Chain A
C-alpha cells in the first residue's frame, strides 16, 4: 500500500460542467501522475508532476488541467466535461523508479 487515495471514487456529471478529481498521498513522493483507462487503450498519461507547482503534459492532455500546491495533493480538473472524458482515472506516485497506483475514480459524463 503506497498510501494513495483518490476522491471521489465515483462521479456522474453533465456535459459542460467542471469536475475536479483529487489524488492524495501520505509518503511525500516527488513524482505524481494522472492516467485514464479506456477499453482497448490500456492506460494513457494525462499529466504528471515532478514537484510542487511543477507539472507537464502527457499523451492525452487536451481538455485537462492539473495543479499541485502541496506535495501530498495532485488535482485533475476537467474545465468543461465532455462525453469523451467518460473513463476511469488513476493517480500514481513514483517510488524507487516504480509506479504505484491509487484505487481509481470512475467518471461518467452524461
Chain B
C-alpha cells in the first residue's frame, strides 16, 4: 500500500540556518503531495502542496518540489526563524476513493535564537 517516510527528528537549527526535511513516498498512480505544519497545542495547517510531477509548492518561504523520478517531496527553507519551530508532516493522497491522506511520522523542528 501507499506510504510516506520522513527523516527522523528532532531537528535543531540556529535562526537563519537552511532547512531541509526529507520526505519520500511509495504510491500507485499519481498522488498529490502535501506538507502540513503543527504548532504546539494546535491542529494541522496545510503549508503547501503539489499535484503533479515537477510541480513546486511554496508558502511562507517554504518550498517543496514533486520529484517523481526519486519519489521525493523534500521541504526546504532558506532562512528559518524561531517562529518556524513546529512539527512538520509530509502526506500524500492515498489510492482509492475518498481523498484519504497517508501521513509520514512527523519531524519536529526546533529553531534556537
Evaluate contact between B42 and A48: CB separation under 8 angstroms. no
Q: Which of B90-113 contact A (CB under 8 A)?
A: 91, 93, 97-101, 103-106
Is B43 among interface residues, defined by CB-CB distance under 8 A?
yes
Using C-beta atoms within 8 Å of the partner chain, give the interface range for chain A: 20 to 34
Q: A48 contacts which of B34, B49, B93, B98 (Cβ < 8 Å)?
A: B98
B81 on interface, CB distance cutoff 8 Å:
no
Chain B residues 70 to 97 lying within 8 A of chain A, measured CB to CB, are 89, 91, 93, 97
**A43 close to B101 (CB less than 8 A):** yes
Count A-B pairs with CB separation below 8 Å.
53
Q: Do the beta carbons of B99 and A94 come within 8 Å of each other?
A: yes
A44 to B104, CA, bound (A): 9
Q: How big is the B interface, by class? A: 20 to 34
A65 to B43, CA, bound (A): 22
Chain A residue, CB-CB nearest to B45: A101
Binary flags per residue of A71-108, CB closer than 8 Å to B gives 1, else 0: 00000000000000000001010100111111110000
Contact status A31-B98, CB under 8 Å:
yes
Is the beta-carbon distance between B98 and A98 smaller than 8 angstroms? no
Interface residues of A (CB under 8 A from B): 31, 33, 35, 40-45, 48, 50, 56, 58, 90, 92, 94, 97-104
Which of B's residues lie within 8 Å of A, judged by CB?
A: 4, 32, 34, 36, 42-46, 49, 51, 89, 91, 93, 97-101, 103-106
